[in-house]
Structures are given as structure tokens and as C-alpha cells.
Structure 1
Amino acid sequence: MSNLCAICNNGTTFLLRRKIANGEVVCEDCFKKAKNLTIKQIIKLKTVSADEIRQSITVSVGEAVMNFIPTKVIGTAIQFDDENKKMLIPGQFGRDNIFSYNDIVSYELLEDDEVVTSGGLRRAAVGGVLFGGAGAVVGAVTGRKNKGVCNNMGIKLTVNNMSQPIVYISFIQTKTKTDSNAYKVANHEAQECMSTLQLICDNQKGEEKETTTYSFSTADEIKKFKELLDDGILTQEEFDAKKKELLGL
């Protein structure tokens, strides 16, 4: 019997795996995601195939979540899939939200419902220095207030999605002392998340600039050759051939 989960291919421990058909096993996480299994299937799990488990997970969490492969995980707050340029934010009632990197519009780090620092695709990061070392965002946060406790901390993420334009990434949800380890961990995760989001936005800005530059350059070149055509220097065939070349057709 293999120790690898037949669904996610991760290693499993004896206490946190379930035996299924064909001598295979599933990890506890994958089993919990398979919410559409019938009572009969759960009772006779050893007769259920990996494909049946996988199908149940797909129905439960959706194809996008099923195909999401995290390359970077920040605590329990957010996951990033750099290969597919997507991010996963855990939602309520086990419903995970997946957004494309292209969907990011802006974000704000909030502590006790007040903006600490912000950034995004359409503006530069302000408020806190995101790339100034380990204490960058921490300094920005703790420098604003000295009340000893934090009731909530999270990132308000605005995305290009009409049905869900605002998503919250939570790091602190209960009253937490600012000198506690829990607060320090939350600060560190918030800093890492903000830095990652800004890097994504910077990369998106670079790609937009390249595309815009290419488009204007191509249009200008075609315009110049059109003028040569109008002046009789180029034939129609020569112009058409050059236009196809410039457009990559």
C-alpha cells in the first residue's frame, strides 16, 4: 500500500489517511474536501476508487480549486500559484475563492479598521515601506498607535470581479496583544502578503507597458509604410506583405 495520497500525491501518516480501493489511500484533507460522497460510500470507503473521490472533490470545491497548485503559501490566509498566475483565498463555509493575478486592482492593509498602507496596479505603495527589510510593514503598523492590543488586522483586496469586487484576507480576528508572538506572526504574514501582491502588480505593470509600447510601435510602423504606399514608393503587394510581417500574421 502506498503512503502517498492518490489525489494530491502528498505523503500521509498512519493516523491521517484513509484506505480506499485498489490499495490506495487519501489524506485527511482530500477526504474532507470530498463532501459529495454518499453515506454508503463513506461506510464502504475501501471500495471507493480514487476517481470517485476526485470527482466528488471537483463537484464540492469546483474545477478551478481542484486544479490549483500552490507554489507559495502564507499561513492560512492566502496561497499563490505562480505557474497559472492565480491566488486562492479561503472563504467562508469551506468555499475557496480563486482570482487571477490580472484581477488585482488595489489593496489596503487595515488594523482595527484603519488603513496602514496600500498599493496596487494603478498606484504605488504608500504608507509603509514594503521592501525595506523584515520590519517594514511591522514598523508602519506599530508606529501609528501604541494602545497595546489589536482587535483585527487584514488586507482589503479590490479585484476586477463584479460579483465579488472586495475580498478580505484576515490575519487577526480576535483581541491580541501587540507584544505577543501571535501579533508578530500576523505582522510577518501581512508583510509577506503585501510584498507579494506588490511584486505581482509591478510585474503586471511591466507587462502592460510592454504591450502598449509594442502596439504603438507596430501602429506607427504600419502608418509609415501606408504613407509609402500612398506616395507610390511601395506596391500594394509589398505593403500587404510588410503589414502581415509587423502583425505577426
Structure 2
Amino acid sequence: MKSSCAICKRHMGLLQTKNTLADRNVICTDCSEKVAKALGFSDKNIVSQTLKFSMLSLENAERAVNTMIKDKPSLRERNSKGVQNNKNREYREKVAAVPTFVEDRAISSNGLSADFTSKKVRLTIGTFKKSTRLLDFSEIVSYSPHVEGHEVKKHHGLTRAATGGLLFGGAGAIVGAVTGGKQFDQVTRVSITVRLSDGEAIEYNLLPTGKTKSTSFEAKTANGRLEDMSALLDRIIEANHTPTPVAPQTITEKAPVSPADEIRKYKSLLDDGIITQEEFDAKKRNLLNL
């Protein structure tokens, strides 16, 4: 005798696997799998599953199946999601094609980090409330280091311009030229000013403690920071203004034309009626040195 599934109403044969619910209703294998998956007791233990079905009402079983059907996205939704995934992939590919700043490959010095692969520089500004800016190397116009002591009221540094070469041969030479060989008893300022293409000037204070002895650890640390930042800015400026190497053009020499090739060319002109037989014979004798 055939019976029908209490949920999907499909007929079930006598030998077909089925599960009996608490209210004696019978459900087919497909519906049983949906119910078990929805309620979280889908396992390979047939005895355990049978016991759980025997304690389940038809109402709860139908609710479980309906939840599974509702949660499954429609074909249109799945297609829309696929289109969106394709758009996301295209966007990621476009972003990947643009050079970006990568922290792991950047060289850093006192709030300034440079990625020489993408030619991007990140400036960290401020002491307590810090902010960051990401710029292209081309936006760094110049920089000026500054060192001041109590013997000098104000001593401006020597500017390293982006359009020129090194003024004194290297970062150490620039810092040495700033101090000018003066032996300050106390140092009051060690800083470096970075000038941008939009006219903004950003100053980095490398001596946060302020006035200190020139022989102190703080003064030596500040001078080290000044040299490090000057060297890094030199590299940024040099990298920005180094032209892209152009591959040399290879000049291909033409192979010499043999007399036989020339005769064939004039024979073709003769056959086409462009030159006369006399002109062809004369050219042939000339090529053969007759």
C-alpha cells in the first residue's frame, strides 16, 4: 500500500526509506534530509536520527523545511551575486594595477616612510594628535635641516632642492655644513623642514626635549635623526628625478644587394613594359661589369 509524504505530498513506495514523526505522520527521504539539516541533527547515526524524528511534530518539521527553502537564494539572486562578484574582481584588479604604498617594503625615519617601488611617501605629522598624509615622491620639492645653539640666534639650514644636485656631496656633509663647525655649549633646536609642491612646509622637531647640552644623549640622538632623514629625503628626490632608462635602438644594416637581384628587378620592369630592351641590356652590362 502506497503512502504520501506529509510535507511534500509525494507518493512513497513500500520499500522507500521514510521517517515517522511523533504524530504518526510519515515523511519521505528528501524531506527528512531537509529537516535534519535545518535542525542540526544530520549525521550518519540512523538510530539517533530515527529517535529524533519520532519526537518531532509535523508542524516543526514543516517549519524546518520552509526555513531551508526560504534561506536558499533564488537563481536570479545567485546570478546577481555572481555579476557583483565579477564587478568586485574587476575593481580589485584595477586597484592592484595602481602603485600603492606598502608598509613592509617602506624605509622609515622619524615619521617619514618611503616606498621606492610605488614612489609613495607617507608623512606622519604631530606629536600627540598624529595625522598621516600619503604623497607621491614628485610632491616633495625640497627640504632644509636646522641646528641652533645659544651662541647663534637663528641659523637657517642649507636647502636641498629637488631640481638640483647635492650641495655638499651627501647628507652628512649637509648636516656638517649646517653646524658650520661651531661648538655649541647647548643646542636649542634640531629640526628639518620639508616643502611640498602645494606650498606647504612641514617641520619635524627632532629635539623634543628642547634646550640641552650639545654633548648630551638627546643632542646626539637628534643629530642622528637629522642625518637619517636628510639621507632618506635625498634618496626620495633622486628617485623622483631619475629618468626612466630608454633601451638603445638597434640599427640594422641593410644587406648588400647582389647584381643578380638587381638584374631580376630590371627584368621585371622590362616584362611590365616600363623599360625598353635596350635599357635593360645596358643596365645588365653595367651590373655585370661587361
Give the structure-1-normalised TM-score.
0.48
Give the structure-2-normalised TM-score.
0.42
Whichever of the two has the greater Rg, that structure is: 2
